[in-house]
Amino acid sequence: MRFLPLLWLGIMLTTVTEAQPTLHALLDEQADAVEAQVIEWRRDIHANPELSNREFRTAALVAAHLESLGMEVRTGVAHTGVIGLLRGATEGPVVALRADMDALPVTELADVPFASKVRSTYMGQEVGVMHACGHDTHVAMLLGAATALAAVQDRLSGSVLFIFQPAEEGPPEGEEGGAELMLKEGAFDDPKPDAVFGLHVWPEQVGTMSYRAGQVMASVDELYIKVVGRQTHGAVPWGGVDPIVVASQIVIGLQTIASRQLPVTATPSIITVGIIRGGVRNNIIPDEVEMRGTIRTFLPDVRSDIEARIRRTAESIAAASGASAEVNVINGYPVTVNDPALTQAMLPTLSRVAGDANVRRADLVTGAEDFSYFANEVPGLFLFLGITPPDMDPATAPRNHSPYFYVDEDALKLGVKTLTNLAVDFMIANR
């Protein structure tokens, strides 16, 4: 679907807002009415977190509620994903709203009465499980939005596709999952949405909503490097080739790619080595060392260029010491791009719902999101909802993935209102 010219779209949205205040008022009333239930859902899901591709309990809760609202419901999409379709009173645009369901292998340390006590197995190790990224709130807010929109179903000119997605944090090794697999299994096939919206809780002041047109979140690639030397006694290093020293030199060399080889004013990029494994004894220089890391970029050409530079750097440093380096880069999520026209068109909605003073332009985010796959299929808009309490400084508040991650639940109603109003205003402007 082609968007209306921005000038006419803005006029149309303003006119619609004035002509149909009842519909927006109804959405506000529904958000008020469902707020307590949203908080209850959030706490229940938070206390019962599930790892990627294992969101069985969460999926059952979601499916049962969507079915109770009279929606057409698909389950088992990409293992545990749930899709609900709400058809409006008349034909019109199809809007997709997405939430992710999975938790992380993190042992919760936040002091809340509904803190997770769940233990599970991750990569062969027993771990704590926690909603340390806020996906519990995403599910609860989208359930609230589904409830609110179902209540005004007879006023909708179009349809809403509710996507509850598993494995945003990445599927277990050897498995597929997440948004990419949902699309492979037909999530956008029938009906195909005209736009997709999503939001993520973020350590900004509660009540704020942040957006960015164009590139907003980085691509992510997994980096594996195996350095092969020659084993020898630690007291006689010249009797072999030390892969640990070579790996150390490679780590330093990789940091010069972003800082010395690429134009830093053009686009950010990050290469981080998070794992170095090698050796079994203090006085034995091992044969090989394994390194693992992550690569973050915002432009496709930079993404491929960095991969080539990593290979050249690692292989050359290893060769200079008589070792060898085997580099493997596994492409992960692409860059998350907010459609510029859609972003601009929805700004009046954000201002109306959150208030002008609370709508902010976001900086580039070097985290990654597989919402990017959905936004590559249709125009998308991904937003950040502030959840840091007023008495806490966002700069020092525990960030996503922290065991102390904390959500001010006063933000959840704004999330519900944002999702419902985006859906309705898009349908009105594009019917």
Residues annotated as catalytic are 333, 409
Helix (H) or strand (E) holding 75: strand 72-77
Please tell me the distance from the alpha carbon of residue 135 to that of residue 178, in angstroms, as a whole number.
13
Residue 228 CA to chain centroid, in angstroms? 36
Sequence-distant (6+) residues with CB within 8 A of 332 are 170, 219, 220, 221, 222, 368
Helix (H, G, I), strand (E, B) or coil at 163: strand
Which residue in the block uniquely carries the two structure tokens 């994903």?
81
Please tell me the distance from the alpha carbon of residue 81 to that of residue 106, in angstroms, as a whole number.
22
CB 259 within 8 A of CB 273: no
Token digits of residue 318: 């290893």
Supply φ then ψ for residue 250, to 5 degrees.
Answer: -65, -40
Q: Which of 415, 403, 370, 418 is nearest to 133 (CA)?
A: 403
Widest pairwise Cα distance in the chain: 84
Helix (H, G, I), strand (E, B) or coil at 192: coil
Please tell me the distance from the alpha carbon of residue 420 to that of residue 142, in angstroms, as a whole number.
9
Which residue in the block uniquely carries the two structure tokens 């808009």?
381
Q: Which of 193, 199, 198 is nearest to 95 (CA)?
A: 193
Please tell me the distance from the alpha carbon of residue 182 to that of residue 180, in angstroms, as a whole number.
5
Q: Which of 211, 201, 426 is nearest to 340 (CA)?
A: 211
CB 209 within 8 A of CB 384: yes
Which 8-state DSSP code applies to residue 264? T
Q: Which of 38, 151, 149 is nearest to 426 (CA)?
A: 149
In one-letter notation, the amino acid at residue 30 is: Q
Which 8-state DSSP code applies to residue 104? B
Please tell me the distance from the alpha carbon of residue 65 to that of residue 84, in angstroms, as a whole number.
10
